[in-house]
Structures are given as C-alpha cells and as structure tokens.
Structure 1
Amino acid sequence: MTTVLETCRIPPPKGAAAELLLQLSFFDMMWLHFNTTRRLIFYNHPCSEAEFFNTIVPNLKHSLSLTLKHHLLVAANLLYPLDADNSKPAFRYISGDSVSLTIAVSGLDFDELVASHARESDQFYDLLPRTPKMSDEGSYQIVPLISLQVTLFPGRGICVGLSNHHSLSDGRSILGFMKAWAMINKSGDDKVFVSRNVESLPSFERPICKDSSRLNGIFWDVMKKIPLKPAATHPLPTNRVRASFILRQSDTKNLKNLIFSARPNIDRVSTFVVAAAYVWTTLAKSLGPAGDENEVLIIGADARGRRNALFDPPVAVNYFGNLLGGGVARVEHRKLAAEDGFFAAAEAIVDEMKAKIYDGDEFLKSPENLLTEMPKYRNMRALAMVGSPKLDFTEADFGWGEAEKVEVLSLDGGGYSVSLSNSGDGDLVVGMSLTKEEMEAFASMFATGLYM
C-alpha cells in the first residue's frame, strides 16, 4: 500500500560549522534508553505525482539542508561509550554527517488516517521512517538521532513523518526544528527564518549549573548499567487502535464550573487541569480496578526560562535539548473511579503542580530524585501526559497551509499515554492509543461523562 521510492542523506550546506562535540547533560541522559519519539503530520494538499517529484521533493531536500545549518545538532550522532566506566556519552557532528530522508507514495486512505474514530494503529507505521542502524567506531557505538519521511497521497495530501532519539531533545526543540524547516521551505531560503529569529536561533551548549558535574555523574552511574539497545521504531504488531476525542471550549468551561461549584477550595483550575483530570478519571473508570490500589498521572514541565536554585540565570527558551521535569499526581483507584472522581483527580493534579511546578520550581531542586521516585510507581497504573497544547505541530506550514492532523505514534508504547493538542479553533484534541476493547469502553464513557 505504501512504496518507498528513495532514501537519501541530507547534509548541512557547505559553509556550515565543521564540527560540534557536546557532552550529554543529565536531562539528556534520562532518555538514553527510551524508544524513539514518533510523530506524523498530515497536510491536506492535493497535488499530482509530477508536482511532488519535480518541485516539492527537491524543495524539501534543499530547505532541509539549509535548516540543518541552523540546527546542526539534528545532523549529529550519539556517541555511546563501550567503556562506560571511563567515558560518558556525547553528541558529535563532523563534516559529512547527515540526516536520513525517505520519499514514499501511499495508496492508503488519507481521509481514514486523519479521521477521529478508532483506526488500526499498525497501518500508520508505513508513513514512519526506519531508524538507521547503530554502528561501532573505535570505543563508541554510533547512534543516529533522527530520521524523516515524506509520503505523498496522490491527489489528496502529504504526510511528514519523523522519528527521533529522545536524548536529542524534548518536544519544544523538535517543534522548533520542524517549524524552521517549514518556514525555510515555504520562503525558499533561510533569510526570513534568520530575520525573524536573529535573537533566538537555537542554542546547543548544554546548560551548566553549580551541580552539573555531580548530577551528570549520578545519572550516568545509573544509565550505564542498562544495556543500550537499538531503538524500536516500528513496534509491530501494536495490537492497538488509535482515536481522537474533542474537548470543546464549552466542555472545558463546563468542567471548570463543576469544580468551582463542588470544590471552591481548588484554585488554579486551568484548561490543562480539567482536561487531564477528565481523561484520567474516564480511563480509570473504563479500565476497571488496577493491580495496585493507587493510580498515577505523570505531568511534564519545561524548565526553560525558570530562575531557581538550579539555574540562575535561567536557561534560555531557545535552548535545543532536553529540559523536562515535572510531577506525579497519585489517587486511589476507588476514589478516581467514584462518582466524584473527577474532583479528586483535579485536586490531586492542582496540589502536585503547586508543590512541584508552580511555587519555587521544586522539581528542579533535586533532579536526582527522579531516579529513586519513578521506580516507586512501577506497580501502579500510570497515565503519562505527552506533549502540550502549547506545542502545536500543526503550525509547521511548509507552504501547504497548517496541518490537518498530528498523530503521536509514541502513544503505542507500553502502558497508557495521552496526547493533548490544539484543534486550531480553541478546542482540545485528546489522542489515545488503546486495545480495541479498551477504546470502546473509553469512548463510550468519554462521551457520556461530559454531560455529568
């Protein structure tokens, strides 16, 4: 159904920096043994195969090369030491390094793929690039960091797929790279991109704090004991279906009002809080009792721009890399699944965000606690919030308009995850990946619960 026509390597243009060598920070090391982050961005852009091959593909290759000039780290490799006791991992770019770009044509049903109802997850992986294999070089394993694929649906649309090693960066940085590529492709060169970002071109130097050396050592001592495995780009079969659910502005307003009425003591009730609480309780009720009596919600937080005990001055918002922390809200299953479980969830989320994120950035004071805290939740049913409505990949306009749909294939991994994104008109899109039976139960409860 999908035919790969070409896989090529795109280097930065001549005149780009000759090399780049950066030690990973502890924020990067946290993600060394995670699977790749996988996204598909769909564009409603009817075009012929002739236009695609003769104009669109050459333009994409040219603009990608220009983008790598400003995002050199994307073209780098991860150097993972074979002698982990005497070396630490690093990112390295040298002249000749490049990014893998696959060009394909698909006969899959574009309208079915961008729909909201439950669809088989496995079919989406035709649109995702394969990650180049690891190799050995002297005393290091060489790990490619990103791969890209552009797939044409003749006469209907285009899909841009990307898979990146999470140690490269978090969602904010990858979004910055994609929007830069899109802007450069749309304008034909990098002049507009540079003029708009002259004060905020991506910065790659790893952030230094007074505890950097100690923290890097602590995290590496843990990570080096875990064998480095090739990233599972295509975890097939997934045995999953994926669907999207809309929380309209009127829905979130209604949910906020319910909290204000029932629990007036809960403050800082944001759209994120009500959306996360609603999805969490809906999932708990639809899945039934968990193995452990407690359930947890993992909440991410971006550390950029925060002046605190760890970073003073704060890390600039144009920093390219990983800078994520956050908190974990915990509620007993019986309370979460109760009739007033939504209020218990909202209260737990607000309390955790106030304790760890809002007031004093507590999550940044002792980052090493993550290494001991996260294993405590191993036997509890966990729901992870992936992405943020603030990180809108639909805004990456290659000249084909804003994207029709974004699918986060990373949700197909083990456990339970949910993506939150904007619909473009102020509503929230909730992305879920579950087994068919779980999805049917969740969908039914999601729709009826909005009228509680």
Structure 2
Amino acid sequence: MAQPNPVKVLEVCRVAPPPLSPDSTTPKSLPLTFFDMLLLKFPPTQRLYFYETSHPTTTFLEVVVPKLKRSLSLTLQHYIPLAGNVTWESDYSKLIIEYVEGDTVSLTIAESDVDFYGLCSDYFREAQNFNPFLPCLVGLETRVPVLALQVTLFPNVGFSIGYVVHHGVLDGKATTMFMHSWAFICTHGEYSTLTPELTPLYDRTLIVDPSNLEMTYSNFWLGRDGPDKKSLALRDRKAPPDAMLGTFLLTQEDIENIKHGCGFGGKRSNYKNHPFTYHPLQ
C-alpha cells in the first residue's frame, strides 16, 4: 500500500528576474564549455537547507514567503542563466544555456507535519524520507530548466529550502554562491549590492579548450541515446528505499588528527605543513 504524501503543496508559482536594464552586462545566452559537457546528463544535483523558526503557518505565508519570493527575483537578476534552460542553438549544432524574456524558476511552497528535528538530526535516517522536500526538474526533450526550488514549512518549528539544479550548468561552488547571494539579499534588502565574492563571472573566453574536449564529450553523451540523439532528458535521482543518510560531525581536533595522520600505503606521511583546508557544511 502506498504511503500518504507527508507534504501538502500550498502553491506552485513561477519567479522571474526583474526586466534587464539596457546597460546590463549579464548575458542571456552562454555556450556550454567542456566542463559543462562532461556533466551534461548526470542526474541533477539536490540539496536541502534547514532553518529553525517559530512562525505559524499564517505568519510564514504572509510575511516570510513574500520576502523569499522578492529576494529570489532580485537574486536572479545577477544569475540570469539560472532562470533559463539548457537547449540547442536554432540549427542544433551546439548546446547553450539560454534565457528568454519571460523565463522563470519554479518555486513550490509546501507544508508538512513531519518531525523537523528528525530530518535534520545527526543519526542515520532513510534517505527516501527527504524525497518529498525536493522539487523536480521538469523539462522537454530539447529544453531543460536549470533550477527548481521548494520551500516547506514545519509550523512553529522551522522550514526547509530544497533545490534541484542541472549538473551540466552548476557545480557545488556555483550553487553555494547563488544560495549565499539569495540569503545576502534577503537579509540586507533589495537595494543591497552583492560583494565581489558573490558576484558571478560569465566570461567564457577565460576557458581554453585546445583539444576540443567540448565536442568529444558532446559526441559521447549524444551518441548514447540511439536514434534520439538530440534528447536532453535527465535521469531522476530520487533516493532508493534501501539507502541511508548520516551526518558526521568533525571537531577541530578531529580535523587536525586527520591532517597529521594522512599517509600513503598505510605509512604516516613525511610531508610537513602540507596544505589542508576544510569548509563547514551549512
């Protein structure tokens, strides 16, 4: 017997960036590079962020959600390609990320009575329990959106923001930049200016491809689909029933022990002051 859906969808809306000003330098179209083509048909990347808050449903829908929508729209003006689609040029010769005036990002607003702290705790949980809090990236055979978002409220306890992004367009650093930019604008208001480290760079001329790897990867992926070689359809990546998810917390002392204990072939490394960095997951 099928289990009831633990999430109640309250709204599915489309969020668009503000109209671009005539002097905007953000491109509406970008070619895919060999870095992008390498991951063209990988399953979309998914992530969930959890936030504690005591807002009841009414306050959340009337105060928080409008602020999230507005700040998302303002953030997209800096990340225009995220509101666009992966598609073909008109002659089907090259793949591009294209934004057309009127393109939007799908945003689902939902509510759930699932145990909030059970989802964001540190012990092992069934990975499939997170599936209902992640949106779907729904597209056409020759046109696939870059980004979809879902905000789920756990009344009086907290809320989550889940995203799914096209892996051929965004890597972990780029999606983290986008989420930090959204948080920055949501916190500082619509007249705030993004800091340099949150401002994306779109200059593709910086990427040199003397071996034409872009074409090599393109031929590999598009040659795997038989007669329908132009299909851009992505595989779903929902967690299977037998998968488990756990969180491992490392203290500063743990990090130092790993740093000094790393070796090769079971022997302690003789290298001193080897560069080592770590970043907290947020």
Please, what TM-score do these two structures have when normalized by structure 1? 0.54
Mapped pair 1:206 → 2:213:
no
Given residue 218 of structure 1, which amino acid in structure 2 is its aligned partner?
A: T
**Pairwise CA distance, 1:200:** 6.4
Given residue 134 of structure 2, which amino acid in structure 1 is its aligned partner?
A: L
Matched with 1:406 is none
Which structure has the larger Rg over C-alpha atoms?
Answer: 1
Matched with 2:42 is 34
Partner SS, residue 39 of structure 1: strand
Distance 1:69 1:23, change over 3 A: same
Q: How does 1:74-93 map to 2 (within 5 A)?
A: 74-80=82-88, 87-93=93-99
**Pairwise CA distance, 1:82:** 10
Matched with 2:228 is none
Distance 1:214 1:238 in 2: 41
**Pairwise CA distance, 1:132:** 1.9
Q: How does 1:398-437 map to 2 (within 5 A)?
A: none
Please, what TM-score do these two structures have when normalized by structure 2? 0.85
**Pairwise CA distance, 1:223:** 2.4
Distance 1:65 1:28, change over 3 A: same
Indicate the structure with greater helix content.
Answer: 1
Q: How does 1:44-59 map to 2 (within 5 A)?
A: 44-59=52-67
Distance 1:66 1:215 in 2: 35
Mapped pair 1:245 → 2:248:
yes
Distance 2:128 2:104 in 1: 29
CA displacement 1:401-429 (0-9 Å, x = unmatched)? xxxxxxxxxxxxxxxxxxxxxxxxxxxxx
Given residue 219 of structure 2, which amino acid in structure 1 is its aligned partner?
A: D
1:62 aligned residue (70, 93, 100): 70
CA displacement 1:163-199 (0-9 Å, x = unmatched)? 001011111111111111111111221x3233x33x8
Aligned length: 267
Distance 1:265 1:212, change over 3 A: same
Distance 2:204 2:159 in 1: 35
Distance 2:262 2:19 in 1: 58
> 2:47 touches 2:164 (CA, 8 Å); kept in 1?
yes
Stretches of 4+ moved more than 6 A in 1? none
Distance 1:213 1:207, change over 3 A: farther
Given residue 126 of structure 1, which amino acid in structure 2 is its aligned partner?
A: P
> 2:144 touches 2:232 (CA, 8 Å); kept in 1?
no
Distance 2:163 2:255 in 1: 31
Mapped pair 1:220 → 2:223:
no
Given residue 234 of structure 2, which amino acid in structure 1 is its aligned partner?
A: A
> 2:34 touches 2:209 (CA, 8 Å); kept in 1?
no
**Ranges in structure 1 where 5+ consecutive residues have no aligned partner:** 136-140, 273-388, 395-452
Distance 1:232 1:174, change over 3 A: same
Distance 1:213 1:116, change over 3 A: same
Mapped pair 1:73 → 2:71:
no
Partner SS, residue 9 of structure 2: strand
**Ranges in structure 2 where 5+ consecutive residues have no aligned partner:** 1-5, 226-230
> 1:125 touches 1:234 (CA, 8 Å); kept in 2?
no
